[in-house]
Structure 1
Amino acid sequence: MASRVDPIPIPHLKGYVFGEKLGAGSYGTVYKAKAASTPIQRPSSATPQRPSSATPFSRPLPSTYAIKCIDRKGLNNTTRDLLVNEIRLLKQIKHENIVEMYDFQYDENYIYIVMEYCAGGDLSMFIRSKDQLPERRARPFVQQIAKAIKFLYDKHIAHMDLKPENVLLTTSEVNPTLKIGDFGVAQHISKNRLGTTIRGTLLYMAPEILSSTTYDARVDLWSIGVILYECLFGRPPFVCLTVQDLVETIKSNEPIDIPADARITTDCRDLLTRLLQRDPTKRIRFEAFFRHPFVANDISSQLARADELLQTAIAFEQAGNLNKALKHRICALDEYASFLKIDPIPERRRAIRRKVQEGIIEAENLKRRMHPALALETSAVLKPQTVSPTVPVNGINLLELSNDPNVDAAYKRCQQGNVFANQRKYRQACEEYESGISGMLTAMQSETNLTKKKILHDMISSYLTKAENCKKYAESETLDLQINKIKEDNADLTLDGTNDDLGEKQQQQQGHCLVQ
């Protein structure tokens, strides 16, 4: 006779109407739920008294919730401890960037945790939907995560499992509010130490956790660095085929590779580098993290820095140094453009947008004025070398200039530099010229024949001029790319609906409707 299998009981909680399943974890399933029409009576197990109306995040109880249902029969000692820890901590913490727990109850089958509902899914889903995020989108996310971590840090709590899946969004539209959730492995800090037990998710776990050493709350800063990296590049900094390879890669002493050509600001690169320090003693400290210019949300001081860059650009332009003028103007425009997504004041945002649009025109005018100074007489400066290595120069065959066989190789590198220069591949041309010049310099230093030495000197001088001109062209192309990036970002802002009053009103409404 076949054994009887008891049916799995359906979760049911008085005062709530369950809807779609939102997801399932290791020891719980989360459902979307609506409040019943009758008032919900809070039991004695519910959260402590709600914050007063004076607190900035206090609001009426919502009508929609996310309810985590934990099967009591499926709990073991470990998951039971995690659950108790999560409920204990969530009863203590109320913050606009932390998922709020409204209630918890239990029956003979389930433990129910009634949570704030976030309609935008999690940050991992958001990143995947965009492939990767431009810095101007990633920065407000990091700033909101930092606000939550500052709140936890002041309460001596470390989250221990920060990852995109545990960062929820209130909406999938523009300017979502972020909410950190899942406090199962979070811990109170004791004497600035957390211990040596392994906690968290491997991909976002700090190296010191895996190295059997005592660690502190700075493990959260490492995790934030990994999250920022994933936002900017669409993937974590580690890609491994096996768990063991991943563990060894995280524990290694190799610095984290941040692409040199990444389109990120100096502030962003600096923060990413300081967060992803494998040695926790070299990692940025919490106080410096909260004050870092990429994180700090003091718009006025950042605008002052952008204004200063603009004034410096104007001064360089008046002095006739157009190259430095353009570089400083682009830096100023990049600073201004980064504010457009985070500045809460519509009037100032409109003024900044006008300044960016006008600044782009001025930058392009500067670029056009620079071109005559960079223009090269291609026929005279970039044309291929007409002297053959077998044709005598002043009675001397170029192949006889030195007993060093590398001279011919150096000459050919410079010839290849000419080819690249005429193809407008200026960076590659510079590399070839510099390599060839280096070989010729070595030969010239060991040459004793004054005539041969003079010929080598003249060739080096000629190729140095070409290399310098190609470097100027390469710098000019870089400036073009930077201007185009700012233009693209400005176009993106228009598409996002931030270029008109209606779009701004919509953003304000979405920013204040955290949970409907």
Structure 2
Amino acid sequence: MAGPGWGPPRLDGFILTERLGSGTYATVYKAYAKGIEHLLGSILGSQGSRIQKDTREVVAIKCVVKKSLNKASVENLLTEIEILKGIRHPHIVQLKDFQWDGENIYLIMEFCAGGDLSRFIHTRRILPEKVTRVFMQQLASALQFLHERNISHLDLKPQNILLSSLEKPHLKLADFGFAQHMSPWDEKHVLRGSPLYMAPEMVCRRQYDARVDLWSVGVILYEALFGQPPFASRSFSELEEKIRSNRVIELPLRPPLSRDCRDLLQRLLERDPSQRISFQDFFAHPWVDLEHMPNGESLARATALVVQAVKKDQEGDAAAALSLYCKALDFFVPALHYEVDAQRKEVIKGKVGQYVSRAEELKAIVSSSSQTLLRQGTSTRDLLREMARDKPRLLAALEVASAAMAKEEEGGKEQEALDLYQHSLGELLLLLAAEAPGRRRELLHTEVQNFMARAEYLKEQVKMRESRWEAETLDKEGLSESVRSSCTLQ
């Protein structure tokens, strides 16, 4: 058995080496699997040792001392083994096998050479939003997989998130010692996890459900972007006071973050679980955007959309072709992130350039015809305003829509126009729902449809511009390059 001053335990089939970490019940070691290379090493001497060193499998072995386990920790260990045995996911650490002897239970795990996310953040102080977003997509992908199987982790924190390597890190969720099979409506009452990352309802009411994992995700995201968790404290009493407080969590103004990123943070770090973002909304949130997460299918999906775009283009349907080219770009950029072969990456970038050029030509055609339609609708708009004289809210919302149209006509202000359209539509949709049947309702319904079409069109333009910029700057600021440069910071 291992202990202070002792070497690692002995386990048949493995050579245990350095200690990677330890907790209350377990110590984790780096280990090498003995295989045919080990036998060759015995036969061939030093030459065989070189073969063994170069080719033998590296694993992490979690050694749990049997006599340190109480009833609750035995149940946790069995749950961890049961959950991990049935899981195969690229962003969850794989349990390869488990063994036991008279003194220890051994969990033989996938080895992650990049250490944990906590160390990765602290050696770099903060992570760029672009890098953090890809890590968050990978974590969300793992959580979606677990959520579909009614599994809650219940101890999400940077120390339990490992990195496959430092050269091209992929996130791997680990340490399922507190994990539970929980339906979304299941409630628990046992404190689990680490106070800094623990949801307020777990600490204050000791009554919680699966949504505690979403709070922990928010704390991890906050720490990655700002360098420390929101409840960082000098003492436990200070920490407890912050957790029990009803104060809204303020987001620092620096570093500057995108609107979507700030929106997600605020919705994750909602103290009231009933007001917190739902799992489905989290997975679909535009900043997480799991649909466009870089993976092996990104290029195939982009190509399929381009085929449809070309067909619509040949049929003379410029609006449909433009929309499909924009959707294809949403997959081409992740495909570029995912591709590791430099030659293939250049080919993809060349194709992207061609499709962007054609999309720009189509944009000019569509924009011209849509401006004509907007001008043709002026008389309808004027009539609606005349009929809305007794409805100040309706008049105000229509004025905001007019401001959106003015911004759109200026050119180059798509985001400002989109924001105004969305603000106007938020009000107009409520007013439409409350409007009594009649001519005014018909006119309002038509205008709402027009404004929604404009907003969707502008949304595609903003997305296309962002995708084009990201594709063009990938060589300088691509994910692996961003991560690699941040890896050199000490």
- Class of the TM-score when normalised by the shorter of the 2 chains: 0.5 to 0.7
> What is the match of residue 47 of structure 1?
none
Equivalent position to 1:217, from 205, 210, 216: 210
TM-score, normalising length from structure 1? 0.55
The answer to whether the 8 Å contact 1:340/1:352 transfers is no
Aligned-CA RMSD value: 4.0
Task: Spell out, residue by residue over 1:346-365, the C-alpha distance to the aligned partner (whole angstroms, 9 max, x if none).
Answer: 2587359979xx9xxxxxxx
Q: Which structure has the greater CA radius of gyration? A: 1
- Aligned twin of 1:34: 32
* Residue in structure 2 matched with residue 99 of structure 1 by the alignment: 93
CA contact (8 A) 1:336 1:352 kept: no
| Matched residue, 2:287 | 294
Aligned to 2:248: 255
Tell me if structure 2 keeps the 8 A contact 1:137–1:341.
Answer: no
SS in 1 for 2:222: helix
Matching residue's letter, 2:94: E
3-state DSSP class of the match of 1:121?
coil
The 1-side partners of 2:479 and 2:191 are apart by 45
Q: What TM-score, normalized by structure 2, do the two folds share?
A: 0.58
Quote the Cα distance in structure 2 between the aligned partners of 1:245 and 1:341.
46
**Residue 119 in structure 1 maps to residue 103 in structure 2:** no
Within 5 Å, give how 1:469-480 maps onto structure 2.
none
Give the ranges of 4+ consecutive aligned residues of structure 1 lying more than 3 Å apart after TM superposition: 5-10, 297-300, 335-345, 347-355, 489-492, 494-498
Q: Residue 235 of structure 1 corresponds to which residue in structure 2?
A: 228
- Give, in whole Å, the separation in 1 of the partners of 2:275 and 2:347: 38
The letter of the residue matching 1:25 is G
Change (3 A) 1:74 1:7: farther
User: Are 2:485 and 1:493 aligned?
Assistant: no
Shift of 1:340: 9.0
Q: Residue 33 of structure 2 aligns to which amino acid in structure 1?
A: A
The answer on whether the counterparts of 2:93 and 2:172 sit within 8 Å (CA) in structure 1 is yes
Partner of 2:182: 189
> Which string of whole-angstrom CA distances, capped at 9 and with x for unpartnered residues, describes residues 479-512 of structure 1?
xxxxxx99xx8785279658xxxx9xxxxxxxxx
Aligned-pair identity in percent equals 44
Establish whether residue 350 from structure 1 lines up as the match of residue 357 from structure 2.
no
Find out whether 1:152 has 2:146 as its counterpart: yes
- In 1, are the aligned partners of 2:116 and 2:163 still within 8 Å (CA)? yes
Q: Could you report, residue by residue, the CA deviation over 1:156-180 in whole angstroms, capped at 9, with x for unpaired residues?
A: 0100000000000000113x11110
Counterpart Cα distance in 1 of 2:131 and 2:351? 17
For residues 316-345 of structure 1, the C-alpha deviation after alignment (integer angstroms, 9 at most, x for no partner) is xxxxxxxxxxxxxxxxxxx99996984548
Partner residue in 2 for 1:206? 199
Q: Distance in 2 between matches of 1:89 and 1:495?
A: 31
Matches of 1:170 and 1:266 in 2, distance apart?
30
5+ long unaligned stretches in structure 2: 39-54, 293-297, 303-329, 358-468, 485-490
Specify which structure has the higher proportion of helix: 2
Counterpart in the other structure of 1:314: none
Q: 1:276 is matched by which residue type in structure 2?
A: L
Looking at structure 1, the residues matched to 227 and 131 of structure 2 have their Cα atoms a distance apart, in angstroms, of: 13
Q: Does the CA contact (< 8 Å) of 2:140 and 2:290 recur in 1?
A: no
CA deviation after TM superposition for structure 1 residue 214, in Å: 2.5
Inter-CA distance 200–72: structure 2 relative to 1 (3 Å threshold): same
- Shift of the 9–237 alpha-carbon distance from structure 1 to 2, 3 Å rule, reads closer
What SS does structure 2 have at the residue aligned with 1:130?
A: coil
Q: CA deviation at 1:262?
A: 3.3
Provide the residue aligned with 1:78 in structure 2. Answer: 72
Shift of 1:18: 1.3
1:142 pairs with one of 118, 122, 136 = 136
- Whole-angstrom CA distance in 2 between matches of 1:494 and 1:89: 35
2:254, 2:351 → 1: CA distance? 27
